[in-house]
Structure 1
Amino acid sequence: MKSIIILCFIGIATATLSTDSDKSIETPCPPKNQFGEIAADQCCGNIEDCEIVATSRIVDDNGIGKYDEFIKYTNEYLTRSYEYFFLAAQFGTYAKERPGFEKLLSGLSDSAWNKGIEMIKEITKRGFSHKFILNKETATIMSSANVTELVAIAKAAEIEKSLLVRANDIHRHHSHASLDASHSCGYDAGLSHYIAEEIMEEKTETVRTLTGHANQLKRLFAQDPKLYPLSLFMFDKHLQ
């Protein structure tokens, strides 16, 4: 008797399963604003009918203007890369062959370009597109033709120091907020950490190195201007 009852249950379950298998599998509606705004209110049915606009933005709903200063700062790296390139090109000619200075300035050019591309990736990770917004003060690329070795090093030190100061200002903008402040104030802990770890530490060391080179060249010239060409030659060998 028990075996007959079990067989009856199995038959009923099989019939129910075969009936349900003929139905189309419906996609449940995700809750609204779970990943952003849902384009269509009626999204039940096929998955193709449900369009979700996902976003990785954490600052606010639109973030307009909140990252403009960081974007300008990113573009300044690209601009400075060309400026370093023009400076380096002067020390690799038949008229002025200074391989050490050329190597130093070319390295600064490559570093500025690579860091600019890296920062573009940082801003796009946050759900914003990069824009080529330039500061009026740094939009013009100066070729700085026919400069001396000392002037080139001093100019590079000035550029790096301005980038360091600017990074400090942008870090302050993205790292200060209070619990009762508006979420649209621009606070971004991840970006402020990136600026401190990946930009400011490196820039601090670069500024110290370049200012040291500039001061050393000044002392060499002050000690004996007549021996300065030989001192400059030895200094270039040191940079190589």
Structure 2
Amino acid sequence: MKAFFTVLSVLLVGVLASEEYCYDDVVRACKTTNKLSTSPINCTAKYGAIDGVEEYLQKYVNHHFIRSFEYLLMSTHYANYEKNRLGFEKLFRGLSDETWHDAIELIQYITKRGGEMNFQTVSNDIISEEQQDANFELYELQSIAKALDIEKKLAVEAHRIHGEATRKNSKFHDPEISSHLEHEFMPKHRDTIRKLAGYTSDLSTLLNGPDSSLSLYLFDEYLQKQ
């Protein structure tokens, strides 16, 4: 019986040792010199499938930054003396701040998982969309509709990354990333999309009324109080 437990203990130690990759790096380094000549490559915060999903997360961050600047430009468009739509200015400035904050939060998450941020990774469809809309002046209803489209695209992108992280594949499967997206991003997108969809529907109905100018003025006053 003692012999059985001895063999079992040796096997367990062997299994655990095979999983201690950082430990193995340190042991190998210490066998050749009294000091670590280089940083052990496996002694990082990385685990799971962060390497497989990291590029998707980096693009998601950069898309948030791009959208944040879009919202900021839309905000300043309504803050000048000609438009003077303080309610619309407040709406888009708030969306800009929220989108920027989400990007910063996601950068912090990537670094917590041992990754790093690459600000050069951007999808080609985002670049082409920016080029098409460069000289496009938006009116009130159009601007809210555009904001609604932006939020839906960010939400769909989050779903796409979630789908990659839940694939039954050792390179991509990472339930911790899926959980983070589910709790930190998807509820925000849901609420913002619902709000903007309601604004679009309400403003469209008001503009079809007998006095669209007065309706637009009152709607802007409503946005200022939100």
TM-score bucket of the superposed structures, by smaller chain? 0.7 to 0.9
Structure 1 CA distance, aligned partners of 2:39 and 2:94?
Answer: 47
Contact 2:78 2:84 in 1 (8 A): yes
1:42 aligns with 2:31: yes
Structure 2 CA distance, aligned partners of 1:206 and 1:72?
Answer: 21
Structure 2 CA distance, aligned partners of 1:51 and 1:83?
Answer: 42
Match of 1:216 among 182, 202, 219: 202
TM (normalized to structure 2)? 0.80
Match of 2:179 among 160, 169, 193: 193
Contact 2:53 2:161 in 1 (8 A): no
Contact 2:158 2:181 in 1 (8 A): yes
1:112 aligns with 2:99: yes
Structure 1 CA distance, aligned partners of 2:63 and 2:162?
Answer: 16
- Higher-Rg structure is 1
Partner secondary structure for residue 31 of structure 2: coil
Indicate the percent of aligned positions where both proteins have the same amino acid.
31
Contact 1:174 1:187 in 2 (8 A): yes
Q: Unpaired segments of 5 or more residues in structure 2?
A: 1-16
Partner secondary structure for residue 53 of structure 2: coil
**Where has structure 1 moved over 6 Å in runs of 4 or more?**
none
TM (normalized to structure 1)? 0.76
Higher helix residue share = 2
Residue in 1 that maps onto 2:166:
175
Q: 1:42 to 1:89 in 2, by over 3 A?
A: same
Contact 1:43 1:50 in 2 (8 A): no
Alignment of 1:72-83 (within 5 A): 72-83=59-70
Cα offset, 1:51, TM superposition = 5.0
Residue type matched to 1:173 in 2?
E
Deviations 1:84-106 (A, max 9, x none): 11111110011000000000000
Residue in 1 that maps onto 2:7:
none
Residue in 1 that maps onto 2:150:
159
Contact 1:78 1:116 in 2 (8 A): yes
Cα offset, 1:36, TM superposition = 6.2
Cα offset, 1:52, TM superposition = 3.6
Structure 2 CA distance, aligned partners of 1:145 and 1:89?
Answer: 15
Q: Unpaired segments of 5 or more residues in structure 1?
A: 1-30
Partner secondary structure for residue 67 of structure 1: helix
Cα offset, 1:210, TM superposition = 0.3
Match of 2:123 among 135, 140, 146: 135
Structure number with higher relative contact order (C-alpha < 8 Å, ≥ 6 residues apart): 2
Cα offset, 1:80, TM superposition = 0.5
Cα offset, 1:41, TM superposition = 4.5
Residue type matched to 2:190 in 1?
T
Structure 1 CA distance, aligned partners of 2:135 and 2:90?
Answer: 17
Q: 1:170 to 1:36 in 2, by over 3 A?
A: farther
Structure 2 CA distance, aligned partners of 1:51 and 1:91?
Answer: 53
Aligned length: 200
Contact 1:86 1:143 in 2 (8 A): no
Cα offset, 1:170, TM superposition = 1.0
Cα offset, 1:176, TM superposition = 3.3
